[in-house]
Structure 1
Amino acid sequence: MAHDLDQKCINTLRFLSVDMVQRADSGHPGLPLDAAPMAYMLWTRWLKFHPANPQWFDRDRFVLSAGHGSALLYSLLYLTGYALTLDDIKSFRQWGSKTPGHPERGHTPGVETTTGPLGQGMANAVGMAIAEAQLAARYNRSNHAVVDHYTYALVSDGDLMEGVASEAASLAGHLGLGKLICLYDDNAVTLSAGTDMTFSEDCRRRFDAYGWHTVYVGDGNDLAAIDAALEAARAKSTRPTLILVRTHLGYGSPEQDSFKAHGSPLGEDGVRQTKMKLDWPTQPDFLVPDDVLAHFRQALQRGEELEAAWELRMSAYAKTFPELHAELRRAIDGELVEGWDADIPVFPADAKGMATREASSKIMNAFAARVPAFTGGSADLDPSTKTALKGLGDFNPVAKKAEDLQGSDTAGWGYWGRNLHFGVREHAMGAIANGLAAHGGMIPFGATFLIFSDYMRPPVRLAALMGLHVIHVFTHDSIALGEDGPTHQPIEQLANLRAIPHLVMIRPADANETAVAWRVAMEMRDRPVVLVLTRQNVPTLDREQRASADGLRRGAYVLSDPPKGGPQLILIASGSEVSLIAEAAERLQEEGVAVRCVSMPSWELFEALPQEERDAVLPPSVGARLAVELGVSQGWDRYVGPHGDMLGIERFGASAPADVLLKAYGFTVDAICGRARALLAR
């Protein structure tokens, strides 16, 4: 049973949340009412954090995967002393407030990741636990545990219904992530009904089958049982834990155990009845008793002491392992070591060339050893995406040979490896990569075919919303992948990705543009980057005859110009089609047409330039413009203008060899020249 102060603290959490929702006339009171006891026990008894420094690196991470319960998180943040005021609490869900409807990373101090789309937060938590395990395995030494923290997530019935959570949980169990602990708010109600309508599986047995340690708490108000469950979870060093806490949605309200308590305010009378039921004063609203605030604010002193102790450990570590300490500090600060890209090759001109996925592999492996924070993998596609980091080990709990540990004397050796094997789990891969980036100390990448970016759109969008440094490597970028056919041939995916705000997509034309693209991706710290790469060989352009590939940094650049005078016609392309327009330009030049070729690997980088610099590449005075891209034409009108044309694809692909497909779909030098002549004849 809870002591009097414990109960006051829990009810303060409950009714700050209820009052937030009621004042906003919008929100979700049900989860805060039922989950407050488990949140209270975690935050006051077990969670390691420092409210005065939300970015302290060795803090525990707390993820509210059930982001609709944001009012509970804001109550916890305010009461424990984060930079939120009671006025912020009262401004819940209002314009310009620090307390938006769902938690937003970077917007509210103490929010680790943006949640709301169910399942994403749980998968993010798996990524955070992977980050902790890999960093601990790499940097910890005997008597020097400088990376040692847990990841906790509060998840709901809805989270566990979402497929991304299943994917991530399966992988977490396989990897034995013992420092991942999920509290399951098992209230048996969703937004529109009880779970008996849609969700009757035995979640405990399901997670047992995943390889998790599971604990059942039959009463969500039983603090002693919750405390014991958390203690047992922390003792399981080789398995993640799911604590199933049986609760009652909207606890104490007239709508208890009804879906009506999920996502609607209780109403003034409902709030009054709930406060009376739980022996809480009906007035004033937003009541925070002095003894409650003093109890919660002990977190400030406790956090200061915890961080100070860690800094002492870091100082001792720096003296004993100065190189490792410097490396870890760079990783924490998101800095790249000087000369990190010194070994990236320059590719000689070659008419046959190579696939940009092949060039990417050479480039990644040229710098990976110099950037220990760089880690990632594919959705079971390494042989095709060419993204394996050679000689850098596999992230896996399976024991490794001593010579593979590079001097590490720490436990968890298998977690040292930097190749992550996600299995056939694209959605989870994207969300886990977000968790790696949000944790810090990592530059994560994930790889799959461009067509399967559709499976990953939610986490790609959330990475852009959060401004996370995640790199996505999407290969097999067009119908030129050939015989696998329309199910695997992307058509609309380039346009889909370009539609996401704050996402940078780069589609390099050849091996040297790919090298610059990787430099941009690694240096781009405040947003995700997508690299779109070919399966088929593309010529490596002769940069002595054409502009430097460094022009990629500008998003679009003049690859070649007519030998005399200004251009009559501008040919624009991205990726593999750049070599086509280059050849077409040479043929048209022989016919007396003055042609400018523009390589446009990234719309987003180009749009970031001042207007006068964009006009220098695409002069407004030249209306005859032809864009060429193996995808839908949507969006290209902004660059070809009212007098231009676009050679794209407005239907699905087909199964045939690549050269047959390109000819059938009109992507040949002859076809481009014909379209250009027709355009000039208008």
Structure 2
Amino acid sequence: MALGMAEVAYFLYRHAMRYNSTSPKWFNRDRFVLSAGHGCLLQYVCLHFASFQSVQIEDLKCLCKLGSQTPGHPENVVTQGIEVTTGYELCWIFHCRIRRYYCFLSNHDQHGIFNFQFLCHTTGPLGQGVANAVGLALAEANLGARYNKPDVAVVDHRTYCIMGDGCSMEGISNESASLAAHWKLHKLTLIYDDNHNTIDGSTDLALSEDISARFEALGWNTITMDNSEGNLDAFKNALISAHSETRKPTFIRVKTIIGKLSKKEGTSKAHHGTFDDDDVKQMKQRVKWDDREPFHVIPMVYRETRAQTDIGGRLEQEWHSKLNYYQNKYPEEAAEFKLLLADRMLPGWESSLPKWSMSDPVDSTRGYSGKCLNTLAKVLPGLIGGSADLASSNQAYLHNLGDFKQPDSPWGRNIRYGVREHAMAGISNGLALHGGGLIPFAATFLVFSDYMKNSVRLSALSHAGVLYILTHDSVGIGEDGPTHQPIEHLAGLRAIPHLLLFRPADGKETAGAYKVAIENRSVPSLLALSRQKVAANVEGTLADAVRKGGYIVSNKSEKELPEIILIGTRSELCLCEASANVLRKEGTRVRVVSLVCWRLFDRQPRDYKEFVLPSSVSKRVSVEAGSPLGWKEYVGDEGIVMGIDDFGSSGPYSEVFNKYGFTEENVTKTAKSLLTK
């Protein structure tokens, strides 16, 4: 791809995009996403020529090497100038160290501007970047509608994305493209590298539809051009058409030649594998570059490409002048806008979270979540999001704040995703990484997290502070049956590095989980919530204790160690407490522990963890209506894990709980069996 799309990328970075390489996070910059992340070589070269300090010649020489600024796929937390993470690096480190992969990048003119050899290979979660780009464009449209004024636009930028044949095959790209057209995101330009090749061979093996017709049917402005001969004028005209469109996103289909100039030109072998020394020599000859060493750059090229640096600086200065004017004329809006720009929140925002007492009516944790979400929306202008066609069921709707819909209500903060879980998560990553203080939430049933797992993983990898609200979190949903009853999902999601997964027991813990999630903007958080009603306030639970992940809910004696520890989450914590009361009446010293967030508890100092779960107390029982996987770490070899190793059953939730042993009587029986050993 780096060979076939060289001219397109050059034109974007040199003539089309507005950015300031000396200030990579300038808010009003245009955003660029490389969904075809295996072509990262092309983007790194462009960043280098555009004077981004994160990519020097030495960095280009270290492509794919451990600890480099140029990993095997773009990573926003590694390289300045990368907006989103669209691939993985680690799986290729060893492979790239033991084999040589050459890519020769040329502008295919008589001067041979580029001459590089690199370690490179291809893979990645294709299509993710398309969803991210839709999220970035959505953020611009929403913030612009909320803060721009007729006489001054402080939010005015475009989003560009390069996708490949593989991206077009992934379902997430179609889901996202459908939404982009529905939302009329006209400042989004999707550039399709149509080289007709994938790893296994020609796209004819698995793809026969007209991609342009598909996007036209979705509602996009579609343009087709041929770049096999490096036609910059054609691409320039395509961009002019894209910029003049005011109601549709634009899809530019660029016909290219994969591996252009090489012996593997136009074949799938150019997608991966080795360009040997003879092939590189031939490519040099074809562009009259015979005597140049690898990584040589003509000084004229630097002078030409780095002219953008001065332009970018002026663009940012002009924007700051607009912002000053805006602040003077619209001080109230400016104060809120600048708060968002700084990724800050109104002082005391957390005090708005609801507080529940023992006398409050019982509700499900999804119900408590809905109340938390709506109180926070009043004090957090960055809170925005929606559900995958389950807003009423997830109770994830911001009342009186409108639906995002162009042109009627682009300021709305509720996003209607339809039944598109994967796109919802990928778009949410774009919203979170756009900048401007947005706090996106994405809601669906926990069992459907499988549809969007890749994007959730990328949330964690790219430090995107998405708030996932996943309800119907166990066999407690009852009648919907095993297709909708998550079993293994908690274990799988807890395994994602950095993700904070909360399973709150009541209203207080739900509020505490929201507080921690909002405070931690550089990691995603996931709230696993119930459909069935639970206590508003389990005696002994503490909202502020949620930040530690696990804590003591109740204890028979403060002075003596317990004989047994019962550990629970969500409604199962109530079963632990009820069982503990029975055992205490019989004279047993029982401690009940809430383990609401494993990862936060694991991060606590050793002394604190020993205080909550003393190693000298080996008799422990964990109670959670899901996979038992992982619980042994907390109950130890002598403890008992009460979980479910089946797919659940259809029926009233109380009967289903009873079938799988989640009753006060069975918890008590299990504890007694352990005590008598």
- Residues 326-377 of structure 1 show CA distances to partners (whole Å, capped at 9, x for unaligned) of 2112212211111223332211215962100001111111120211110000
CA distance in 2, matches of 1:42, 1:650: 53
Q: Does 1:304 align with 2:274?
A: no
Separation in 2, partners of 1:281, 1:226:
29
Could you tell me how far apart the structure 2 residues matched to 1:60 and 1:153 are? 11
Alpha-carbon distance between aligned partners in 1 of 2:283 and 2:130, rounded to the nearest angstrom:
30
| Other-structure match for 1:106 | 77
Q: Which residues in structure 2 correspond to 1:118-133 (within 5 Å)?
A: 118-133=126-141
Matched with 2:422 is 427
Number of the residue aligned with 1:76: 46
Other-structure match for 1:341: 350
Q: Does 1:560 align with 2:554?
A: yes
**Correspondence for 1:34:** 4
Q: In the aligned structure 1, how far is the partner of 2:213 from the partner of 2:64?
A: 38
- Give CA-to-partner distance per residue, 1:513-568, whole Å, 9 cap, x none: 1011111111111100001100000012354xx25332111100000000463210
Distance 1:339 1:237 in 2: 40
Q: Distance in 2 between matches of 1:358 and 1:231?
A: 49
Aligned twin of 2:439: 443
Task: Give 1:40 deviation, angstroms.
Answer: 1.0
Q: Give the corresponding residue for 2:522.
A: 526
Q: Distance in 2 between matches of 1:205 and 1:50?
A: 36
Amino acid of the structure 1 residue aligned with 2:185 = L
CA offsets, 1:81-131, max 9 Å, x none? 001211111111111110110011110110111113100001100000000
Give the match for residue 186 of structure 1: 194
Is 2:238 the counterpart of 1:229? yes
The residue correspondences of 1:262-341 to structure 2 (distance < 5 A) are 262-341=271-350
Match of residue 486 from structure 2: 490
CA–CA distance in structure 1, aligned partners of residues 406 and 56 of structure 2: 44
**Aligned ranges 1:310-389 → 2 under 5 Å:** 310-350=319-359, 353-389=362-398
Q: CA deviation at 1:279?
A: 2.7
Q: How far apart, in 2, do the equivalents of 1:142 and 1:95 lie?
A: 50
Secondary structure of residue in 2 paired with 1:482:
helix
CA distance change for structure 1 residues 542 and 472 in 2, over 3 Å: closer, same or farther?
closer
Measured against aligned partners, the alpha-carbon deviations of 1:615-651 in whole angstroms (never above 9, x if no partner) come to 1100111110000001111111110011111100011
Q: Does 1:257 align with 2:266?
A: yes
Corresponding residue number in structure 1 for 2:571: 576
- 1:648-668 deviation line (CA, Å, top 9, x unaligned): 001111111101100010000
Contact 2:473 2:530 in 1 (8 A): yes
Aligned counterpart, 2:119:
none
SS of equivalent to 1:34: coil
Preserved CA contact (<8 Å) 1:272 1:282: no
Amino acid at match of 1:534: S
Query: Which amino acid in 2 is paired with 1:81?
Result: S
Query: What is the CA distance between 1:398 and its match in structure 2?
Result: 4.6
Looking at structure 2, the residues matched to 338 and 351 of structure 1 have their Cα atoms a distance apart, in angstroms, of: 28
TM-score, length of structure 2 as denominator length: 0.93
Q: Is 1:90 aligned to residue 61 of structure 2?
A: yes
Distance 2:359 2:612 in 1: 26
Q: How far is the alpha carbon of 1:280 from its aligned partner?
A: 2.7
Between Structure 1 and Structure 2, how many residues are aligned?
Answer: 636
Once residues 277 and 191 of structure 1 are traced to their aligned partners in structure 2, the CA distance between those partners, rounded to angstroms, is 26
Contact 1:120/1:164 (<8 A) preserved? yes
| SS of the residue 1:33 aligns to | coil
For residues 537 and 396 of structure 2, what CA distance do their matches in structure 1 show?
Answer: 23
Secondary structure at the counterpart of residue 315 of structure 2: helix
List runs of 5+ in structure 1 lacking aligned partners.
1-30, 400-413
Partner of 1:204: 212
Q: 1:668 to 1:137 in 2, by over 3 A?
A: same
AA aligned to 1:248 is I
Percent of residue pairs bearing the same amino acid type: 44
Does structure 1 residue 662 correspond to structure 2 residue 629?
no
Tell me, what secondary structure is at the counterpart of 2:534? strand
- Report the Cα offset of residue 188 of structure 1: 0.7
Query: Match for 1:537: what amino acid?
Result: K
Question: For residue 531 of structure 2, what is the aligned residue in structure 1?
Answer: 535
| Comparing 567-576 and 264-273, the one that deviates more | 264-273
Q: In structure 2, what is the equivalent of residue 459 of structure 1?
A: 455
TM-score (norm 1): 0.92
SS of the residue 1:626 aligns to: strand
- Structure 2 distance, partners of 1:198, 1:276, is 36
SS in 1 for 2:384: strand
Q: Given residue 159 of structure 1, which amino acid in structure 2 is its aligned partner?
A: C
Residue type of the alignment partner of 1:662: F
1:587 maps to 2:582: yes
User: Does the Cα contact within 8 Å between 1:352 and 1:538 map onto a contact in 2?
Assistant: no
Deviates more, 1:573-582 or 1:334-343: 334-343
Q: What residue number does 1:481 align with?
A: 477
Which runs of 4 or more aligned residues in structure 1 lie more than 4 Å from their structure 2 counterparts after TM superposition?
A: none
Q: Does 1:671 align with 2:666?
A: yes
Once residues 273 and 248 of structure 1 are traced to their aligned partners in structure 2, the CA distance between those partners, rounded to angstroms, is 17
CA contact (8 A) 1:173 1:211 kept: yes
Deviates most, 216-225 or 371-380: 216-225
Equivalent-residue separation in structure 2 for 1:185 and 1:547 (angstroms): 55
Letter of the 1:86 partner, please give it.
Answer: I
The match for 2:113 is: none
**Alpha-carbon distance in structure 1 between the residues aligned to 2:549 and 2:576:** 17
CA distance in 2, matches of 1:334, 1:64: 25
Any conservation in 2 of the 1:253–1:277 contact (CA below 8 Å)?
Answer: no
Relative distance call for 1:521 and 1:338 in structure 2 (3 A) is same
The SS at the match of 1:342 is: helix
Q: Superposition RMSD on alpha carbons, in Å?
A: 1.1
1:238 aligns with 2:233: no
Give me the whole-angstrom Cα distance separating, in 2, the residues matched to 1:420 and 1:244. Answer: 29
CA–CA separation in structure 2 for the residues paired with 1:123 and 1:345: 34
Structure 2 residue 622 is matched with structure 1 residue 627: yes
The question of 1:53 aligning with 2:23 is answered yes
Contact kept, 8 Å, 1:352 with 1:537, in 2: the verdict is no
Partner SS state of residue 141, structure 1: coil
Opposite residue 244 of structure 2, the aligned amino acid is: A
Given candidates 173, 176, 179, the residue that maps to 2:181 is 173
What aligned pairs does 1:602-641 form with structure 2 within 5 A after superposition? 602-641=597-636
- What does 1:376-415 align with in structure 2 at a 5 Å threshold? 376-399=385-408, 414-415=409-410
Q: CA deviation at 1:282?
A: 4.9
Q: Deviations over 1:183-212 (max 9, x none)?
A: 111111111101111111101110001100
Judge which range, 39-48 or 68-77, deviates more: 39-48
Aligned AA for 1:35?
Answer: M
How far apart, CA to CA, are the structure 2 residues paired with 1:280 and 1:584? 80
Q: Which amino acid aligns with 1:638?
A: E
Cα deviation, residue 218, structure 1: 2.4
Q: Which residue of 2 aligns with 1:410?
A: none
Q: Contact between 1:541 and 1:579, CA under 8 Å: does it hold in 2?
A: no
Deviations 1:193-249 (A, max 9, x none): 011111111011100011000011023411100000011001112100000011110
Contact (CA 8 Å) 1:350, 1:542: kept in 2 or not?
no
